[in-house]
A and B are shown apart, each in its own frame.
Chain A
């Protein structure tokens, strides 16, 4: 038991840091994922994760694998795309998903090209799939401060954000904060994606956001509880993924995301809210 669950973290420094990384990430990325999902923006999150790449790649071109440069570049590119797409969706007839879709392939191609200009395939691999086991203390600190800020900001805009999703007309009638809240929310998405990017890379960063959220949807009909459940699922799949990857010698980032994927699959089948099991086993109807 000890060997299976505790020893890897007790004995190896890099495992402890990876553990801290995935737990911290889950705390804020998963609730943000809930709102992305409820606003039908799941794919938009994916696109924004890609938008980060060219920015981070520019940072890489200038300064190599430098934490600061790649973080700043990623945030700048992500926010630019998020704000531009958000404004386009808000003030033109084009829907948000269509506005974002254009950025998806362009960003990925541009990012990969930029990295390849100076870096090796190893660098490219690292940028695309992350390096959970190579998190150093400064990177952890960046992840932790971003997620802390996100949690506070999310708490601050929780009410208007919920209202914007349920009844935007009503929110506009009681408060002019709709647009600000929307843009702030998109910025939080970017911050969390940049944080996740350091651990999981461009292609998997959005996984810690969307999979726990999508899984949590099957367990409750209350948004607050849903957020809490998604955090729990994120933490458990983070820990599970790390352990599996340690014992079976599998790549860590994909193992973490796969673990979340297993939770998602289980939720789809077993979840009491719209899960398959409930649908497939008709029960006797009630009196009223």
Chain B
């Protein structure tokens, strides 16, 4: 009973946030719209009993990445809509067409009732929510430990590389 209500509330929140991101005249409002979208989607993850994914989404995206966005917006001071020139001339038509296709697709599924495209997730969700972290940690640190550590190394190299590039001066290095 509570699930559809929460889903509708959060879906509306996510869509409203997404519209704010593209429609707001002020970049800070766009960033806050993105925060609303990310947060609503995190609640949807919780509804699917994926607590860890929700928490990581909020910590990494809503927390770290968006704070960085806001910080950059404030430091550079882009708080006015400076130019409205279209840099990519066809993007509006392209995105509009894509969005229309997706709505048509969803409408067709509803009209013809071919719900095999969107099977209910209920069968695959484990009964208990407790243990989700342990359930994720076990394959991650046994079967996939090499991939996991390689990813960690890759991210460290990327961060070090970004710092090196930022500090690079011709003739000094």
Whether A and B are associated in the same complex: the answer reads no
Q: Mark B residues whose CB is within 8 Å of A.
A: none
